[in-house]
Amino acid sequence: MKKGLRGVAFMMALVLALCCTVSALGEGQKYQIEENTGDNQKNYPYKVVTESAVLYLGKEDIELLGEEAFYDGMYKLLENMDRDFAEAREVMKGFLKDEVAPISIYTDFIGRAEEAQFYSGYYYGPEKGIRLFHNWEQGASILLHEYTHYLTYGCATVEVTAGAWGECIAEYVSKIACRNYTARAWHYGLMEEEKTVFAANGWVDEEGYPDYRVYYHGVAWMFGQPFAIDTRYLAVCDNMMTMTKEQQEHPMLNSISDLEGGCFIEFLLEHYGKDLVFTHLNIDGKGIRETYGKSFEELFTEWKQENEKRCEEWGITALANGK
């Protein structure tokens, strides 16, 4: 009995020793939390420097979440962030200035910025920085989208008109071209029921995570269906809009949803190539016809047909129609 207990104690000690080794070699050591000595040190006493970013940690944000939850979330985000950022730069390769400086990322979970009411994160052009709102999970869902804004508005060799094209390209890079491991670690913010539907239909990747591309194309398809009329949605002009029959039948670039915008860029790239698409992210209706030889409505209608076919193959249209 005594011997047995000693055996258990030994095993416990071994397990504990192993745990300590793992945490000592874990993310905590890869990323050092440093004291921030910059001008913003009052609100942000700590920072973490990575290959592609400087993460500023808000004093009140740490208090809001509690130290343990705050740092757990932070390390979860850091696990994949640099890899995602590198992938986004790879997509934009050839259209970026040689040197892409590390981006400043600030936590703002307490909602100091007004934008925190409406968004999960925000890229501020003049300060070339990103703010993450609410918590790590919400911030993670939008981080790569905001980083793409930094690349296109702050680092690209081509001109991107603020607004519709900027949103389309940010959605494309963060939700279609890249796996977005940071958002994936939180299952892309999908609800439990949604995850179950994904698993049941085989819309999962090799590790069983939801295949977000299926979700994304599927919801984009839904926006063109009669049942989507009167639905509120975020449009690429960065405003909330209501879907109308008119918009479905005669779409305007500024009024398409973010999800349609990302897919539409994918369609343009597949048919016309990066060299044309990435150098024409500043065009309006007339420019679209001059560049592509077709109107926006014609191009968008072609995309819709292609996307519908894809969604039929995935079984999304059948599921939505209750078959």
Binding site for Zn ion (CB under 5 A): 167, 170
Smallest gap from Cβ 281 to Zn ion, in A, equals 14
Please name which of 22, 125, 38, 117 lies closest in space to residue 75, comparing C-alpha atoms: 22
Burial of 193 by CB count in 10 Å (0-12 exposed, 13-18 middle, 19+ buried)?
exposed
CB-nearer residue toward Zn ion: 3 or 232: 232
Whole-angstrom distance, CA of residue 44 vs CA of residue 56: 6
Closer residue to Zn ion, CB minimum distance, 123 or 221: 123
Q: Which of 307, 287, 305 is nearest to 296 (CA)?
A: 287
| Between 160 and 277, CB nearer to Zn ion | 160
Min separation Cβ 19 and Zn ion, Å? 41
- Residues 214/314, Cβ–Cβ less than 8 Å: yes
Nearer CB in complex with Zn ion: 65/176: 176
Residue with tokens 């014609």: 298
Tokens describing residue 14: 């071994």
Min dist CB 149 to Zn ion, Å, is 6
Beta strand residue intervals within 192-239, DSSP E = 232-234
Q: Where are the beta strands (DSSP E) in 179-277?
A: 232-234, 240-242
As measured in angstroms, the least distance from the Cβ of 132 to Zn ion is: 14
Q: Which is nearer to Zn ion, 198 or 212 (CB)?
A: 212
Q: Are 289 and 281 contacting, i.e. CB atoms less than 8 angstroms apart?
A: no
The CB-of-235 to Zn ion minimum distance in angstroms stands at: 11
